[in-house]
A and B are shown apart, each in its own frame.
Chain A
Amino acid sequence: MDIDQDLLKRAYNRDESALEAIFDAYYPALYRYLYHHTGHIQTAEDLTATVFHRFLEQIYSDKSPINHLSGWLFRVAYRLMVDDIRRTHVRDTDPLPDDIPMESIIEQTVMAQIQTKQVYEALSELPDRQREVLLLRYIGELDLFATAQVLGLNVNAVKALQHRAITNLKNILMLQGELS
């Protein structure tokens, strides 16, 4: 997922329709990415809003121009998330939606919830960088170049990191009986 360079150029020219398009395109992905890190809806939304505020500050000031929008947005999101975790240490996460009355749930939903919990647990066992590359690629839907920008790596290093992360995640899930 990437926004056309033309959209970014229009944003620099104070075109509010371009800003709106950027917000609509990136808010859901940034929110999902931050939610899977913080486990807290309100925090994820506050941090997402902060990313967009920083974006406005960047384009309305004389700071260095943004060259790659998705990479820039997710890099800011990543830094905000790290700061937030450092500051709050431990925060109660919103509960996984497992308290819905059984009679109202179809079997598929229950299975999806079990899978979700297992994936969460498996992800939490991965080293930080490996977990990060998977969240950026699959939750943030970033391409390799943008992911490399966020993590401060080159594209080949991201490929290698992603390969190791997937192998490890598969092994953990297989142990859980998920992919066996």
Chain B
Amino acid sequence: MTDPMKDVFDTLNQSTPEPQNMAENKAIFMATAHRMSVTSEKLARHQHMNANDTKGVLPMKLRFNRKRVSVLVALVAILTVAGGVLANSIFGFFNQAPTDTSNVQITWNQVDMENIQMDVPAFFYTLEHAMSSTEYYSKAPQAVPSRYQFYNATYNASSGDLSQYYQCETSGITLSQRPLQAGEVFGGVEVGASATIIPVDIGDGGEYVRGGWLTDGNASTLVLDSSAMTNTTTNVGLTWSNDIPQHTLMWTENGILYTLQTSVTQGGCNLTQADILAIANSLK
């Protein structure tokens, strides 16, 4: 007996547009499989070695020399703090401006769209797909407040920058991560003179700032002028505010620079400093 629905669904199947990225997705899948295979083998070897190291030897020493353990713990604690300070002193995450006001001159040029060479990042709707595209071990927060949902992600293959966007109504959280280049000099994100830069014990050391730059009325002029056909220059006045609920946390860990930044969070989507630290500490 023939299936009466077969013809109906054959028509539907034939009308399905061909997938456009099957080859690219297959390449990513195979590369990820290879990477996972290598990683799991290394992990297995590591676990095997650790198991051999600890069998009967280390626990015995710990059991019989408590004083030595205390000294070791104290040493580790001192080195950890020193490491954090060292990382921050080399790596200035934030750069304090001389005052709380600033002026930015923005020139809007006409662009030759035919000859423009842009480094366009890849765009992803799913976090897993975005994370599998990076050549380094990328992370995602495991504890984003429930009212925030993953929205999309971009990955710039040339800089290695992976940015994840989480959204709650009109508020957003952006987590960016990228590998640091050898000998890289980082200029630091500019904040107002009155901003309080708080050192944070995370990864190899980090800093947190609450607040942001507010624009004056000229910002709207910029949007209007952007549609003009001639080159246009607009001055935008900026004023730093410590009061607006905008957060920035930057830190490094194992050669990766992480930046967790929010827009000006509002209403039920408001976030606190504790929320930001909880998100950052949940990265996995």
Known contacts A27-B26, A45-B25, A46-B126; A169/B37 CB under 8 A: no
B5 interface contact, C-beta 8 A: yes
Per-position 1/0 for A79-93, Cβ under 8 A of B: 010001001000000
Residues of A within 8 A of B157 (CB): none
Asked if A60 and B9 make an inter-chain contact with CB atoms under 8 angstroms apart, the answer reads no
How many interface contacts (CB-CB < 8 Å) are there between A and B?
Answer: 116
Per-position 1/0 for A106-120, Cβ under 8 A of B: 000000110110011
Per-position 1/0 for A13-48, Cβ under 8 A of B: 010100110011001100110011000011111111
Known contacts A112-B11, A112-B14; A53/B132 CB under 8 A: yes
B102 interface contact, C-beta 8 A: no
- The binding surface of chain B is classed by DSSP as helix
- The binding surface of chain A is classed by DSSP as helix
Interface residues of A in 39-74 (CB under 8 A from B): 41-50, 52-54, 56-57, 60
Q: Which residue of A lies closest to B11 (CB)?
A: A115
Bound together, the chains give a CA A27 to CA B26 distance in angstroms of: 9
Using C-beta atoms within 8 Å of the partner chain, give the interface range for chain A: 35 or more
Bound together, the chains give a CA A45 to CA B17 distance in angstroms of: 11
A7 interface contact, C-beta 8 A: no
Asked if B22 and A31 make an inter-chain contact with CB atoms under 8 angstroms apart, the answer reads yes
Known contacts A46-B125, A49-B25, A138-B5; A16/B16 CB under 8 A: no
Bound together, the chains give a CA A49 to CA B25 distance in angstroms of: 6
Asked if A47 and B126 make an inter-chain contact with CB atoms under 8 angstroms apart, the answer reads yes
Asked if A56 and B36 make an inter-chain contact with CB atoms under 8 angstroms apart, the answer reads yes
The smallest C-beta distance from A130 to any residue of chain B, in angstroms, reads 12
The smallest C-beta distance from B240 to any residue of chain A, in angstroms, reads 35
Asked if A45 and B128 make an inter-chain contact with CB atoms under 8 angstroms apart, the answer reads no
Asked if B29 and A53 make an inter-chain contact with CB atoms under 8 angstroms apart, the answer reads yes
B70 interface contact, C-beta 8 A: no
Bound together, the chains give a CA A90 to CA B23 distance in angstroms of: 28
Which of B's residues lie within 8 Å of A, judged by CB? 4-6, 8-9, 11-17, 19-22, 25-26, 28-30, 32-34, 36-37, 40, 124-126, 128-129, 132, 149-150
